[in-house]
Amino acid sequence: MSPILSVTDLSVTFDVRPPGAWPWTPPLKLQAVGGLSFDIEPGETLGLVGESGSGKSTVARAIIGTVPHSGGRIVFDGKEIGAMSESARRRHRKDVQMVFQDPLAALNPRMTVGDIVAEPLVTHHPEVERAEVKRRVGEIMERVGLLPNLVNRYPHEFSGGQCQRIGIARALVMRPKLLICDEPVSALDVSVQAQVVNLLKEIQADMGLSMIFIAHDLSVVKHISTRIVVMYLGRIMEAGPAQEITRRPRHPYTQALISSVPIPDPVLEKARPRPILEGELPSPLNPPSGCVFRTRCPKAQPDCAEPGRDRMDREGGVLVNCTYHEVRDALAV
Residues ≥6 apart with Cβ < 8 Å to 176:
94, 95, 96, 97, 209
Q: Is 240 within a domain?
A: no
Whole-number pLDDT of residue 309: 63
Q: How much is the average pLDDT of 283-306?
A: 88
Residue 307's pLDDT band, with cuts at 50, 70 and 90, is confident
Same domain, 158 and 266: no
Same domain, 69 and 25: yes
Q: Is 239 within a domain?
A: no
Same domain, 9 and 104: yes
Same domain, 23 and 90: yes
Amino acid at the residue 163: C
Q: Is 75 within a domain?
A: yes
Q: Is 254 within a domain?
A: yes
Domain termination residue (choose one: 190, 225, 260): 225
Same domain, 191 and 283: no
Q: How much is the average pLDDT of 147-168?
A: 93
Q: Which 3 state secondary structure label does DSSP give 15? A: strand
Q: Is 235 within a domain?
A: no
Domain termination residue (choose one: 192, 225, 258): 225
* Cα separations in angstroms, 92 against 69, 78, 85, 307: 16, 11, 10, 38
Residue 332's pLDDT band, with cuts at 50, 70 and 90, is low
Which residue segment(s) compose the domain that 268 sits in? 245-333
Overall number of domains in the chain? 2
Per-residue pLDDT tens for 81-129?
Answer: 888 887 877 777 889 999 998 888 899 999 999 999 999 999 988 898 9
Same domain, 189 and 274: no
What secondary structure, in 3-state letters, does 76-110 show? ECCEEHHHCCHHHHHHHHHHEEEECCCCCCCCCCC
State the Cα–Cα distance between residues 224 and 185, nearest whole angstrom: 12
Q: Is 232 within a domain?
A: no
CATH number reported for the structural domain that contains residue 136 in this entry: 3.40.50.300
pLDDT surpassing 60 at residue 333? no
Same domain, 257 and 194: no
Whole-number pLDDT of residue 40: 95
Same domain, 65 and 178: yes
Same domain, 219 and 87: yes
Q: How much is the average pLDDT of 268-284?
A: 75
Q: Is 237 within a domain?
A: no
Amino acid at the residue 120: P
Same domain, 123 and 59: yes
Q: Is 330 within a domain?
A: yes
Same domain, 211 and 315: no
Provide the whole-model pTM.
0.91
Per-residue pLDDT tens for 163-205?
Answer: 999 999 999 999 999 999 999 988 788 888 889 999 999 999 9
Residue 140's pLDDT band, with cuts at 50, 70 and 90, is very high
Domain termination residue (choose one: 180, 195, 225): 225
State the Cα–Cα distance between residues 261 and 275, nearest whole angstrom: 12
Residue 281's pLDDT band, with cuts at 50, 70 and 90, is confident
pLDDT surpassing 80 at residue 261? no
Same domain, 118 and 195: yes
Whole-number pLDDT of residue 23: 82
311 C-beta neighbours (distance < 10 Å), count:
12
Q: Which of 74, 2, 10, 64 is nearest to 236 (CA)?
A: 10
Torsion of CA 245, 307, 68, 184, to 10 degrees: 20
